[in-house]
Amino acid sequence: MADLRRSSEDGSSADLSSSTLSVWAGEGESLVQGATQVPVVYSAAYGYPDVDAWLDVALGRKPGHIYSRNTNPTVHAFEEKVRILEGADAATSFATGMAAVSNTLFALLGPGDRVVSVKDTYGGTNRLFLDFLPRVGVEVELCDTSDHEQIEAAIAQGCRLVYLETPTNPTLKVMDIARLATAAHEAGAIVVADNTLATPINQNPLALGADLALHSATKFLGGHADALGGVVCGGPELVARVFHYREITGATLDPMAAYLLIRGMKTLALRIGRQNESALRIAQWLQEQPAVAAVYYPGLETHLHHDVAARQMRGYGGVLSFMFEGGFEAVKRVLSRLRLAHRAANLGAVETVAGPPATTSHVECTTEEREAMGIPEGLIRYSVGIEDAGDLIADLTQAFAVA
């Protein structure tokens, strides 16, 4: 299996399934002295016997590492694993998902550029669009997420970058990546897609036409809610520009976090398979509950863009949201009764996690801003863990008794 783990050079991973790649991909060149696991390399710098050998690495003529803000063996193994699963030629990583988003946008956009995105990207990303990019002279146009004609018209007016996130957090809207990438490329724009909720097991944005796919690795990739991280994958030229920006801004992934993310990713395909199945079953069950006014999950045939989701996703993911008739007061009562869910601002973990957007994805926004984005206060985001789905439904049943 050593060759597979070096598949970055020979491309021999092409015929292996994502569950095999989750386990083996990207690790070979980092293993030392027979270790079967990637070592955590805590060294700020790397020494060389003479200046010529040092220069060879520093100038990129030979592989190796110079300084861990730039590259590190443990971090590299994590990047390789995600790169291979996303089918990308290059990848670079970050201290957090938001560092991946912000470094990508700031590396690729400058004064006078225009970016087109949608109203309900993740709350932190939305703040970049509303507060930080305009400050450096970037024009931002945020369209209605479900209105593809409006997005296409905004793109056709000319833009440097189109930023997609699908499914969205927390209302699980689905964007047609292939359709919007075609429109973006006709306008000469770069397409960036946040693939955090789908994961490379369910969806590969690059294969659908995106130029860069990014993740908050804190979520499903790591899967255990014990490490923060981010990653961007795509073609070598774009990734090199983002990497260079990160080298200088210093939002580097820590080696211990990289190790935890690698360990978590070994079970990525297993976890996602289970979470896909359980989330669909729970979404179908929720649809039958009188206290529930609406259920948002792309796997439901009633979902507005189920056809697009069915075309571009292999599974519909572990996150769903639902709305209570009783509004925010009902949400508070039900959440406090759940026994098998952390009430916490996270998603994608082995444990079920639940919370309202006001304290999770859109904590940065005011109530009015959330309403303008179509995020109702009666909403609960429910990230399904790997527990037994029947137990989760029983837990929801007892909690709904107080709604």
Ligand X SMILES: Cc1ncc(COP(=O)(O)O)c(C=O)c1O
Residues touching ligand X: how many (CB under 6 A)? 16
- Give the shortest CB-17-to-ligand X separation in angstroms: 25
- Give the shortest CB-219-to-ligand X separation in angstroms: 6
- Give the shortest CB-227-to-ligand X separation in angstroms: 10
Which of 81, 83, 113, 122 is labelled catalytic? 122
Which of 194, 245, 246, 259 is labelled catalytic? 194
Which CB atom, from 330 or from 373, has the smaller least distance to ligand X?
A: 373
Examine residue 194 and tell whether it contacts ligand X (CB under 6 A).
yes
Examine residue 228 and tell whether it contacts ligand X (CB under 6 A).
yes
The only residue of 218, 252, 312, 383 in contact with ligand X, by rule CB under 6 A: 218
Q: How far apart are CA 104 and CA 115, in angstroms?
A: 12
Is 194 a known active-site residue? yes
Contacts of 244 (CB under 8 A, 6+ apart): 107
Helix (H) / strand (E) containing 96? none
The only residue of 97, 222, 317, 356 in contact with ligand X, by rule CB under 6 A: 97
Is 316 a known active-site residue? no
Q: How far apart are CA 79 and CA 214, in angstroms?
A: 11
Which CB atom, from 94 or from 324, has the smaller least distance to ligand X?
A: 94
Span from 3-11, 135-143, 190-198, 288-296 in contact with ligand X (CB under 6 A): 190-198
Is 69 a known active-site residue? yes
Of residues 345-374, which lie at the interface with ligand X (CB under 6 A)? 361
Tokens of 144: 């209605």
- DSSP tag of 252: P
Is 114 a known active-site residue? no
Examine residue 120 and tell whether it contacts ligand X (CB under 6 A).
no
Give, rounded to a whole angstrom, the gap between the first and last alpha carbons of the chain.
53
User: How far does Cα 292 stand from its chain's mean position?
Assistant: 28
Tokens of 151: 């997005």
Which of 6, 69, 241, 281 is labelled catalytic? 69
Which of 5, 219, 246, 271 is labelled catalytic? 219
Which CB atom, from 4 or from 201, has the smaller least distance to ligand X?
A: 201
Span from 21-29, 91-99, 151-159, 380-388 in contact with ligand X (CB under 6 A): 91-99
Examine residue 92 and tell whether it contacts ligand X (CB under 6 A).
no
How many residues are there in the chain?
A: 403
Examine residue 124 and tell whether it contacts ligand X (CB under 6 A).
yes
Examine residue 223 and tell whether it contacts ligand X (CB under 6 A).
no
φ/ψ (deg, to 5) at 11: 65, 15
- Kindly write down the DSSP assignment for every residue of 140-189, as one continuous string: EEEE-TT-HHHHHHHHHT--SEEEEESS-TTT-----HHHHHHHHHHTT-
Span from 173-181, 193-201, 245-253, 376-384 in contact with ligand X (CB under 6 A): 193-201
Q: How far apart are CA 43 and CA 256, in angstroms?
A: 12
**Which phi-psi region, left, alpha or beta, contains residue 137 (left: φ > 0; alpha: ψ -120 to 50)?**
left
- Kindly write down the DSSP assignment for every residue of 272-325, as one continuous string: HHHHHHHHHHHHHHHHT-TTEEEEE-TTSTTSTTHHHHHHH-SS--SEEEEEET
Task: Cite the active site residues.
Answer: 69, 122, 194, 219
Site residues for ligand X per CB under 6 A: 96-98, 101, 122, 124, 165, 169, 194, 196-197, 216, 218, 228, 230, 361
